[in-house]
């Protein structure tokens, strides 16, 4: 009778889970694993017969901006690398840069821009002999980072190693970005500046306090006088571009075709009816990041674009001659930031 009850409970997953939790209440290791506190706990499944001898690690998209998503991917790649797994990245319809009709026949937004590691493909996950997809809070558990904007030297160095090993641009994207970088930097000693405004100005909880444009100007001038030949500006904001043009005139270079806003929202929320607009916004910020990484010095606020540029700089085996981050702290309030899909829904209803 007891065995019959046990087998009946086993068939009801949620009931089985509740009973197991009750049974293991005093088991610290079990409690830690259930609460995702055990970094190296894994769940493995078999989907088919392909890629025997490999464990494929499924990395799903998040609903954040491009480089918030990108840094999540790097963290998951670090986790896969640590355990000898092969990362496969999927940016699906939750990703703000996803185009429902695809881009050149590609429907995985990650693959709009990047090659999968080891010539794997997203569809390989459906037939892999061993596959895992357990999400881990890598930054907090492995690097002691509680806020994704406030990163440590150890984290930057490790993510630089991971980026060098795993991140490869698609050939056409790489050629496009390198051509743009060569055309705008022209071999001059360049100070890279990133001013992130847009949706950041809403001061959402857990997001950085945005420096004023006066503070940016003062910081840029303090570094530029060290012998730089020009300033490259990456910004999502029309007002920031206007102010920097007034202050620095002919010393300022930037990409004139970049989407910019003049309100408290993200660039992918503007021109939402334009063909491939979300894809284009991703390409533009990717170009900005790699251009910033190609500069000799860097000035910026707390930003995921700036964080990614610093990681890319490390991945290239070089270092900034000057690095000035305007850290005004993190907002602590009850204002919850919308995710990318919520922002796009608001834009579709013309609420911006």
**Using CA atoms, how far apart are residues 32 and 256, in angstroms rounded to an integer?**
51
Question: pLDDT (tens digit, 9 = 90+) per residue, 305-321?
Answer: 999 999 999 999 999 99
Adjacent-strand bridge partners of 231: 191, 252
Distance of CA 207 to the CA centre of its chain: 14
Give the contacts of 258 (CB within 8 A, at least 6 positions apart). 234, 284, 288
What confidence category does residue 66 fall into, taking pLDDT thresholds of 50, 70 and 90? very high
Q: Is the pLDDT of residue 30 over 70?
A: no
pLDDT of residue 14: 80
Q: Is the pLDDT of residue 145 over 90?
A: no
Q: Is the pLDDT of residue 148 over 80?
A: yes
- Mean of the pLDDT values across residues 326-350? 75
What are the DSSP E strand ranges found in 17-149? 56-60, 86-90, 114-115, 131-132
CA distances from 1 to 17, 42, 143, 153 (A): 21, 34, 50, 59
Q: Please compute Rg for the chain using Cα positions.
A: 23
The overall average pLDDT reported for the chain is 88
**Using CA atoms, how far apart are residues 63 and 51, in angstroms rounded to an integer?**
30
pLDDT of residue 4: 62
Please state, for a pLDDT cut of 70, what percent of the chain lies above it. Answer: 88
Q: Is the pLDDT of residue 26 over 60?
A: yes
Question: pLDDT (tens digit, 9 = 90+) per residue, 109-126?
Answer: 999 999 999 989 899 999
- The three-state secondary structure class of 10 is helix
List, in order of start, the domains of the chain with CATH numbers: 1-35 (no CATH), 39-143 (no CATH), 170-348 (3.40.50.11350)
Of the given ranges (232-246, 267-281, 322-336), which has the lowest mean pLDDT? 267-281
From the number of C-beta atoms within 10 Å of its C-beta (0-12, 13-18, 19+), residue 267 rates as buried
Of the given ranges (3-7, 163-167, 177-181, 253-257), which has the lowest mean pLDDT? 3-7
Please name which of 330, 66, 320, 64 lies closest in space to residue 193, comparing C-alpha atoms: 320
Q: CB of 263 within 8 A of CB of 238?
A: no
More confident residue, 344 or 298: 298
pLDDT of residue 200: 80
**Using CA atoms, how far apart are residues 103 and 121, in angstroms rounded to an integer?**
16
């Amino acid at each position: 009778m007891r065995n019959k009850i046990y087998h009946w409970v086993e068939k009801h997953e949620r009931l089985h889970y509740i009973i197991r939790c009750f049974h293991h209440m005093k088991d610290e290791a079990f409690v830690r694993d259930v609460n995702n506190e055990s970094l190296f706990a894994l769940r493995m499944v078999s989907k088919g017969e392909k890629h025997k001898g490999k464990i494929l690690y499924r990395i799903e998209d998040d609903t954040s901006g491009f480089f918030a998503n990108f840094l999540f991917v790097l963290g998951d790649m670090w986790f896969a690398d640590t355990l000898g797994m092969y990362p496969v990245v999927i940016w699906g319809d939750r990703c703000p840069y996803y185009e429902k009709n695809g881009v050149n026949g590609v429907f995985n937004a990650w693959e709009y821009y990047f090659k999968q590691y080891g010539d794997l493909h997203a569809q390989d996950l459906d037939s892999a002999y061993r596959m895992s997809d357990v999400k881990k809070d890598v930054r907090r558990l492995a690097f002691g980072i509680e806020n994704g904007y406030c990163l440590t030297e150890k984290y930057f160095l490790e993510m630089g190693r991971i980026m060098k090993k795993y991140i490869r641009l698609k050939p056409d994207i790489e050629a496009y970005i390198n051509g743009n970088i060569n055309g705008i930097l022209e071999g001059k000693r360049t100070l890279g500046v990133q001013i992130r405004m847009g949706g950041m100005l809403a001061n959402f909880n857990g997001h950085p306090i945005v420096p004023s444009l006066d503070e940016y100007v003062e910081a840029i001038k303090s570094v530029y006088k060290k012998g730089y030949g020009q300033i490259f500006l990456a910004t999502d904001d029309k007002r920031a571009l206007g102010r920097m043009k007034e202050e620095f005139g002919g010393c300022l270079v930037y990409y004139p075709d970049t989407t910019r806003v003049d309100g408290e929202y993200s660039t992918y929320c503007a021109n939402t009816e334009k063909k491939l607009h979300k894809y284009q916004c991703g390409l533009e910020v990717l170009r900005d990041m790699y251009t910033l990484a190609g500069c000799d010095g860097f000035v910026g606020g707390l930003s995921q674009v700036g964080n990614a540029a610093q990681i890319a700089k490390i991945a290239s085996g070089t270092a900034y001659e000057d690095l000035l981050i305007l850290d005004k702290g993190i907002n602590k309030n009850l204002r919850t930031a919308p995710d990318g899909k919520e922002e796009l829904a608001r834009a579709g209803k013309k609420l911006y």
